[in-house]
Amino acid sequence: MHLSQYYLPTLKEKPANAQIISHQYSLRAGLVKQVVSGIYTWLPLGLKVIRNIENIIRDEMNKSGAVETLMPCIQPADLWRESGRYDDYGEEMLRINDRHKNDMLFGPTHEEVATDLIRDVVKSYKDLPLYLYQIQWKFRDEIRPRFGVMRGREFLMKDAYSFDLDYESAINSYDLMYKTYIKIFKRMGLTPIGVRADTGPIGGNLSHEFHILASTGESTLYYDNKFSELLESEDIESLKNIYAVADDMHDSNTCPISEGQLSTSKGIEIGHIFYFGDKYSKPMNAKVASQDGKSVDMHMGSYGIGVSRLVGAIIEAFHDDKGIIWPENIAPFKIGLINLQTRAAECVEIANKIYNALESDEILYDDAEESVGVKFARMDLIGLPWQIIVGKKSANEGIVEVKNRATGKVEEMQIEEAINRFSIG
Ligand code: ATP
Ligand code: MG
């Protein structure tokens, strides 16, 4: 992609009202633009980041055996009346009337739609377990939207729903999703901590929130410092049961581990999993026939990941004072190619040669006629993992600079060597 043909509105100054670094950088690096409080347009660069996050999630969800669907944003209130949640949900729900005065809503979550989706079809234990997921926009009329995309009103979520015959298999499904979440977050370069959680308005019996450690997080985490060791082992049974809780769930009087073994940190919630048994299947009449011919309510769970929140969370985890430092799997482009001498025909020729030799959707080519300082600052701000810099030395000696954004290390190399380094295959 040529920068001159792209849409990348970056900001030099820190925007007013953006308190935390991910909010500042997501505006400054041209990832998002706020339309109104808690509602954003995703700009081309931000959209690429979202797509990369989605693709990691899709890949691991598919590997787990889950099947992708797409449920509607707008839902009928009647489904929520059936489950009994309509009146309880409160002001976070955006309630809408259609032209016939039917009560509708913009879905804050999809347990009811998912239960309705399968209840007339799935009739036998032979059809179970079944895992359905989607990546879909939610709306929650948060009282205090803040921190940019981290707490929006409209936000993108991956939500999955599991359907099982009995408790044992439902817990297997829960464990499978726990494991899948660890894989997903690790592939993003993150270190997730699963903390025991309240089940809140989703309801139910067993629940873990996944957090990443970050000083700007809204939650306070208390956890056994054996956690990181266990995370390596991916021993789900131990991970699930280790002491790890957030906020009010911690009580120093009843905490089962010693103070010396307890770590405390701020955390950002990036995912949340629930097992809630028959909370929806019973009132919504989602039953299957068991092996012995009995009709039983399905056991269900739901599993959310904050896709758009992850953009902010990843920036919180990976940045410096110059800007974002994207992990390679998440980066909107792998390489930023900078031509410092846009008026020198030889430099243009070299930059074009490099650009044409490398995959064009992996490379953002800064061909803009601007000062060296502006170009360097912008490229550092948007945080692509690698920079290839074409300048005077390229024309005179056939040498380019290759910079690693994370380490800041610059290597000089021959043009061909740089091309080979980044060629695919
Ligand atoms: P929180 O406690 O942060 O308000 P929640 O517990 O209400 O979140 P869930 O219902 O568990 O959220 O939703 C699943 C995931 O969706 C969360 O783990 C979070 O990553 C994300 N999420 C929830 N609310 C928002 C929001 N307002 N903006 C962006 N992402 C959100
Ligand atoms: Mg939650």
Give the ligand whose atoms come closest to the C-alpha of residue 185: 1
Q: Rounded to the nearest 10 degrees, how much is the dihedral formed by the CA atoms of 146, 150, 155, 156? A: 180
Q: Which atom of ligand 1 is nearest to the CA of 153?
A: 27
pLDDT in tens, 264-287: 999 999 999 999 999 999 999 999
Using pLDDT thresholds of 50, 70 and 90, give the confidence band for residue 132: very high
> Can you say how many angstroms the Cα of residue 413 is from the centroid of all Cα atoms in its chain?
36
pLDDT in tens, 343-378: 999 999 999 999 999 988 899 999 999 999 999 999
Q: Which protein residue has the closest C-alpha to ligand 1 atom 23?
A: 306
> Can you say how many angstroms the Cα of residue 32 is from the centroid of all Cα atoms in its chain?
15
Q: Which protein residue has the closest C-alpha to ligand 1 atom 1?
A: 269
Whole-prediction pTM:
0.96
Using pLDDT thresholds of 50, 70 and 90, give the confidence band for residue 203: low
What's the pLDDT score for residue 234? 79
CA of 236 to the centre of ligand 2 (A): 20
pLDDT in tens, 233-256: 878 999 998 999 999 999 988 899
pLDDT in tens, 12-25: 999 998 999 999 99
CA of 203 to the centre of ligand 2 (A): 11
Q: Residues with Cβ within 6 A of ligand 1?
A: 109, 140, 142, 151-152, 155, 157, 269-272, 304, 306, 308-309
pLDDT in tens, 163-190: 999 999 999 999 999 999 999 999 999 9
What's the pLDDT score for residue 287? 98
Give the ligand whose atoms come closest to the C-alpha of residue 155: 1
Q: How far apart are the C-alpha atoms of 39 and 41, rounded to whole Å?
A: 7
At which residue do the structure tokens 């995959």 appear? 359
What's the pLDDT score for residue 200? 66
Q: Six-digit token pair at 51?
A: 């797509």
Q: Which protein residue has the closest C-alpha to ligand 1 atom 4?
A: 151
Q: Which atom of ligand 1 is nearest to the CA of 304?
A: 14
What's the pLDDT score for residue 202? 63
CA of 212 to the centre of ligand 1 (A): 14
pLDDT in tens, 384-408: 999 999 999 999 999 999 999 999 9
Q: Six-digit token pair at 146?
A: 């803040």
